[in-house]
Every structure is written in structure tokens, then in C-alpha cells.
């Protein structure tokens, strides 16, 4: 009895839903008939079992074949509406339909996937793939209707999910996307991302690496300093030591090939900012290179992902969860200032920093002893 009652309710719901859709369709067809009457559409012609119709617009002809004369008339009405709308778009009287998701696709296809930096390309691809999940309903909204208020609400929601640095990076990425729509596609008059407040940038990381931590990393990677690296974990340890000597980024070390190594320096043809760079080699760095005995093209015969996973897994086993591989860059730069007394402009050339303030305030992390030693010459 109960099942029969629910079945009746279900049938009633289906009938109501169909009636509602029929009502919408009837309204649409009625509107279409009115458009047809105003447009003075051409008459469909019967050819065999089908009908054809020809629409002329601005000295061009468009053809269609359908099963009935009414279908031909409906097609012709929609085609004329489409053509007239396109004319208004070209004349600047009407804005084209362009949703945020379409802009994301176009930007990735034409700009994002061609970024010169491998790591940047990977990050941009991640943004592209997760776009729908990240923006939800906003992804389906026309770029002309997206307001600073929409983006402020998105920013506040995003800050509850990830840190300030991540949100800042994402805002920069999507702002560049809208600038592309504004300056390259000429779709927008202004960029709404430029009208929202950015999260306050957190204090720059100033992590140094203590000698005891270097020993722990080598121990967990089963590597003895001065030995030839053989196993995958050995190459991670070798890369760690080489980074401390050169201030090279992980991606730069993993991309390093034999042809890039010269007498006294490494030439990096492509770096994070897209420019080539010369990295002088200390005696310690030269000794590390001598330990590489294999004849392969790349100095470290590992993928970036395999290297990263090995690093993340092994550092945790010795309690160094808060140690980032990028901290080697802080350590190396601080050592270069302390030991080699390099002028900041020379140091910037070696490290690849275009902004001196970032180099000095973020990567140079002296302790009290370093400052006293520098002061006393």
C-alpha cells in the first residue's frame, strides 16, 4: 500500500516536471514565431522527402535541410538572430558570450602551457586542471559579469582553505589571465582582479641549515660525503650538498647536463625567470662534480617527482619535517656573503635575482655572529 502511494507521487512529479518543461518550450516557440513574423523569413522549398531553406545576410547565403518546413523556419530564425548578434558584437553594440571557464581554457592553450619555466608550467597546469573545483559556479559566469565583490568573496573563501602565499600566487595568475583578455583579446575594458585587496604577505622564511642537520640528511639518505652516488637516495644527498654550495634551485640542479658544465662554472640556459645564468663553482662544488662517474646526459639521472618524493619521505624519518629543499638557497646565499664577501650586485647575478630587495630581505639570513664578523671586516 505504501509503495503504491509513493509510486503515485513519483508519477505525479514526472507529469508536473514534463508539463513545466512543455510550458517553457511553448513560450520559446511562441517567441520564435513572433521573431519569424518580424523577420519575413524566406519560404522553405520541398525537395523530395525533405525541405530546404536559404538565408541571405550581408551578401552571404546560408543553407539548411530539415524534415519539415516548420523546422526550416525555426532554423532560419535562429540563424538570423545569431548573425545579427555577431554584427552587433563586431560593432561594439553587444558583448559576446564568454564565460570564465572559456577564458581559463584559452589562456592555458595560448599562454600558460608555453611558460619557459618547467616548474611554472607544472603549477599552471595544476591550476588549469583544478579550475572547476576551485571556482565552482563562478567558473560558469560571464567574464563581463564578474565583479570585484565576486572575487573578494572567492578570496575570503580560499583563505580558509590555503595559506596567504598560495592565495597571493593564485590571484596573480588569474589577474594575468584577465589582463590577457583585456590587452590581447580586447574583451574587457578593465581587470576586476586589480580592484580587490590582496592578503597581507606573511613574513619571509629565514630558515638556515645547521651542520648537524646536514649530517642527519646524509645519514637518512645512506650517503657518505666524498663517495660516488650510485643509488637514487645518494643522488638526492648529492643534490642537497651541491645546492648548499651553489645556491641553485632544485629544478636547475635536476636539469643540469654535462654540456652545461665548464671550467669553473655551470651555465644554466633556462632558469625560473626565463633568463640564462652563470653559476661559479666553489672548490667544494668542483669536488662534488668529480664524484659523478656515470656517462649519462643529465648529472642527476632522476625525474623531479622521484627526487622530491625521496626527499620528503626521508627527511621526515629524522624529524626534519620543517626543512624545505629550498632552504639550501637561503643557506648558500648567506654563506656566500659571509665567506666570499660578494657585493650584492654580483651575488644577484649568481643567484638570478632581479629584485635586490628580495635577495637581501628574503634570502640573506645572517645570525648575530655573521653580522659581527661582517662589521669587523
Examine the fold and report which residue of 138, 164, 195 is the final residue of a domain before the chain moves on.
195
Identify which of 270, 258, 268 has the alpha carbon closest to the alpha carbon of residue 297.
Answer: 258
Lowest mean pLDDT among 5-14, 39-48, 239-248: 5-14
Residues 224 and 296 in one domain: yes
Residues 113 and 176 in one domain: yes
- Report pLDDT for 40: 66
Say if residue 69's pLDDT is above 60.
yes
Residues 296 and 278 in one domain: yes
Identify which of 206, 306, 298 has the alpha carbon closest to the alpha carbon of residue 252.
Answer: 298
- Report pLDDT for 171: 96
Confidence band of 52 (pLDDT split at 50, 70, 90)? very high
Residues 73 and 189 in one domain: no
What is the domain count for the chain? 3
Residue 126 lies in a domain: yes
- Report pLDDT for 340: 79
- Report pLDDT for 1: 44
pLDDT tens column, 309-336: 999 999 999 999 999 999 999 999 888 8
Residue 7 lies in a domain: no
Examine the fold and report which residue of 47, 76, 94 is the final residue of a domain before the chain moves on.
94
Residue 347 lies in a domain: yes
Are the C-beta atoms of residues 271 and 352 closer than 8 Å to each other? yes
- Report pLDDT for 41: 75
Which candidate in 108, 235, 363, 364 is catalytic?
363
Catalytic annotation present for 101: no
- Report pLDDT for 95: 66
- Report pLDDT for 144: 92
Domain residues for the domain of 121 are 100-195
Residue 6 lies in a domain: no
Residue 152 lies in a domain: yes
Residues 328 and 244 in one domain: yes
Catalytic annotation present for 354: no
Residue 350 lies in a domain: yes
Catalytic annotation present for 5: no
Residue 278: which H helix or E strand, with range? strand 277-280
Are the C-beta atoms of residues 213 and 320 closer than 8 Å to each other? yes
Proportion of the chain above pLDDT 70, given as a percent: 85
What's 282's domain CATH number?
Answer: 1.10.443.10
Q: Is the pTM of this model over 0.75?
A: no
Residues 293 and 276 in one domain: yes
Residue 166 lies in a domain: yes
- Report pLDDT for 104: 94
Examine the fold and report which residue of 73, 94, 115 is the final residue of a domain before the chain moves on.
94
CA distance 356 to 343: 11
Residues 230 and 162 in one domain: no
What's 143's domain CATH number?
Answer: 1.10.150
CA distance 306 to 147: 42
Residues 275 and 335 in one domain: yes
Which candidate in 249, 277, 315, 330 is catalytic?
249
Residues 215 and 106 in one domain: no
Residue 27 lies in a domain: no
Residues 328 and 269 in one domain: yes
pLDDT tens column, 186-201: 888 899 999 999 998 8
Angle at 339 between CA 333 and CA 341, to 5 degrees: 80
Of the two residues 353 and 364, the one the predictor is more confident about is 353
Residues 179 and 49 in one domain: no
Q: Which residues of 283-312 are buried (b: 16+ CB within 10 A; e: fewer)?
A: eebeebeeebeeeeeebbeeebeebbebbe
Which candidate in 66, 125, 208, 272 is catalytic?
272
Residues 273 and 166 in one domain: no
Which candidate in 106, 155, 314, 353 is catalytic?
353
CA distance 334 to 247: 10
- The 8-class DSSP code of residue 94 comes to S
CA distance 287 to 281: 10
pLDDT tens column, 108-122: 999 999 988 777 888
Scan for cell 583563505, then name that residue. Answer: 159
Catalytic annotation present for 294: no
Amino acid at each position: 500500500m505504501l509503495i503504491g502511494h509513493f509510486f503515485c507521487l513519483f508519477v505525479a512529479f514526472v507529469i508536473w516536471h514534463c508539463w513545466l518543461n512543455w510550458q517553457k518550450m511553448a513560450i520559446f516557440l511562441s517567441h520564435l514565431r513572433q521573431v519569424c513574423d518580424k523577420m519575413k523569413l524566406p519560404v522553405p522549398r520541398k525537395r523530395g522527402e525533405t525541405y530546404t531553406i536559404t538565408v541571405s545576410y550581408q551578401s552571404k547565403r546560408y543553407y539548411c535541410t530539415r524534415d519539415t518546413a516548420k523546422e526550416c523556419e525555426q532554423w532560419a530564425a535562429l540563424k538570423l538572430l545569431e548573425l545579427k548578434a555577431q554584427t552587433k558584437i563586431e560593432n561594439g553594440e553587444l558583448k559576446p558570450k564568454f564565460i570564465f571557464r572559456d577564458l581559463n581554457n584559452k589562456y592555458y592553450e595560448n599562454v600558460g602551457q608555453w611558460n619557459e619555466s618547467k616548474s611554472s608550467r607544472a603549477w599552471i597546469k595544476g591550476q588549469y586542471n583544478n579550475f572547476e573545483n576551485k571556482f565552482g559556479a563562478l567558473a560558469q559566469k560571464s567574464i563581463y559579469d564578474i565583479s570585484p565583490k565576486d572575487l573578494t568573496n572567492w578570496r575570503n573563501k580560499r583563505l580558509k582553505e590555503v595559506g596567504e602565499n598560495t592565495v597571493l600566487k593564485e590571484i596573480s595568475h588569474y589577474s594575468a589571465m584577465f589582463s590577457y583578455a583585456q590587452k590581447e583579446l580586447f574583451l574587457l575594458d578593465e581587470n576586476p582582479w586589480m580592484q580587490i585587496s590582496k592578503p597581507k604577505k606573511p613574513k619571509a622564511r629565514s630558515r638556515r641549515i645547521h651542520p648537524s642537520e646536514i649530517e642527519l640528511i646524509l645519514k637518512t639518505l645512506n650517503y657518505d660525503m666524498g663517495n660516488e652516488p650510485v643509488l637514487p637516495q645518494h643522488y638526492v644527498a648529492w643534490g642537497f650538498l651541491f645546492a648548499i654550495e651553489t645556491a641553485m634551485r632544485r629544478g636547475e640542479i635536476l636539469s643540469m647536463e654535462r654540456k652545461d658544465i665548464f671550467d669553473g662554472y655551470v651555465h644554466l640556459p633556462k632558469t625560473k625567470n626565463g633568463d640564462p645564468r652563470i653559476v661559479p663553482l666553489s672548490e667544494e662544488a668542483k669536488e662534488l662534480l668529480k664524484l659523478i662517474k656515470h656517462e649519462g646526459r643529465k648529472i642527476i639521472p632522476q625525474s623531479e617527482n622521484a627526487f622530491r618524493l625521496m626527499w620528503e619521505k626521508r627527511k621526515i624519518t629524522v624529524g626534519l619535517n620543517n626543512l624545505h629543499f629550498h632552504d639550501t638557497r637561503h643557506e648558500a646565499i648567506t654563506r656566500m656573503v659571509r665567506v666570499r664577501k660578494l657585493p650584492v650586485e654580483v651575488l644577484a647575478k649568481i643567484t638570478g635575482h632581479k629584485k635586490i630587495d628580495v635577495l637581501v630581505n628574503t634570502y640573506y639570513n645572517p645570525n648575530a655572529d655573521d653580522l659581527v664578523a661582517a662589521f669587523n671586516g
